[in-house]
Amino acid sequence: MTGRVVGRAWTFGDDVNTDAITPGKYLTIRDPAQLAPHVMEGVDPEFARKAQPGDLLVAGKNFGCGSSRETAPAALKAFGLGCVIATSFARIFLRNAVNIGLPILECPAAVQGIRDGDTIEVDVTAGRIVNRTTEVTFEATPFPPFMQELMAAGGLVAFTRRRLGLD
């Protein structure tokens, strides 16, 4: 969850659920690369055709509510989305995103200040979001230190290996 991203913003509303991000009919597919062409299909069937890797997803409150299926953040990551910015994330989605290293930021002000199609630059590590279309800057809510450490460690696999004394 590091680095700088520049891309087009794709905006969505509140309560985008996991059935919309990766519909249940694809649950027997486990390879995130195979799921990426279907990502967000439940809200916008054309999304995967229109969006480019590096683009950003901007959504309202409770993004990723519903199922614990990790295919949802995994498919967003496999698609190559630069970052997901939301007013708030549903708990299991947030956890899964942190564990697997999908860049996410919570920033209600940015969600208000970004329109569909705007060019957005994000410093994921610093939590700085710049709307290049309007030249307005937003600061995301920092994640608690424990989660930042987990992200810096490279996600939960690295964390687990360390706890087990394997690294």
Partner 1 sequence: MGMTITEKILAAHAGKAGVEPGEFVIAKVDVVMGNDGSTAGALPVWRQIGVERVFDPDRVVIVLDHFVPNKDIQAANLLAPVRKWARAQGIRHFFDEGRTGIAHIILPEQGLVGPGDLMVGGDSHSCTNGALGAFATGVGSTDLASVLALGEVWLKVPASQRFVYHGTPPRWVMGKDLILATIGRIGLDGARYQAMEFTGPTIAALSMSERLTMCNMAIEAGGKSGIIAPDEVTLAYVRGRAKRGFSCYASDPDARYAAIHEFDVSGLRPQVAKPFSPDNVGPVDEVAGTPLDQVFLGSCTNGKLEDLRIAAGILRGKKVHPDTRLIVIPASQWIYLQALREGLLEVFAEAGGAVSTPTCGACFGGHMGILGADEVCLSTTNRNFVGRMGHPTAKVYLANPAVAAASAVKGAIASPDEV
Residues forming contacts to partner 1 in the complex (CB under 8 A) are 15, 17, 19-20, 23-25, 27-30, 42-43, 61-62, 65-71, 73, 88, 90-92, 95-96, 99-100, 144, 146-147, 150, 155-157, 159-161, 163-164, 166
Q: How far is the CB of 113 from partner 1 (least distance, A)?
A: 21
56 vs 150, which CB is nearer to partner 1?
150
52 vs 68, which CB is nearer to partner 1?
68
7 vs 101, which CB is nearer to partner 1?
101
- Reading the block at residue 72, the tokens are 């949802």
d(C-alpha 24, C-alpha 53), whole Å: 24
77 vs 131, which CB is nearer to partner 1?
77
Q: How far is the CB of 10 from partner 1 (least distance, A)?
A: 18
Sign of CA dihedral 145, 124, 93, 32: negative
Q: How far is the CB of 151 from partner 1 (least distance, A)?
A: 12
Q: Which of 99, 38, 80, 90 is nearest to 59 (CA)?
A: 90
Whole-angstrom Cα Rg for the chain: 15
Q: How far is the CB of 146 from partner 1 (least distance, A)?
A: 4
- Reading the block at residue 78, the tokens are 């496999």
CA dihedral 129, 124, 70, 160 (to 10 degrees): -150
Helix, coil or strand: residue 147: helix
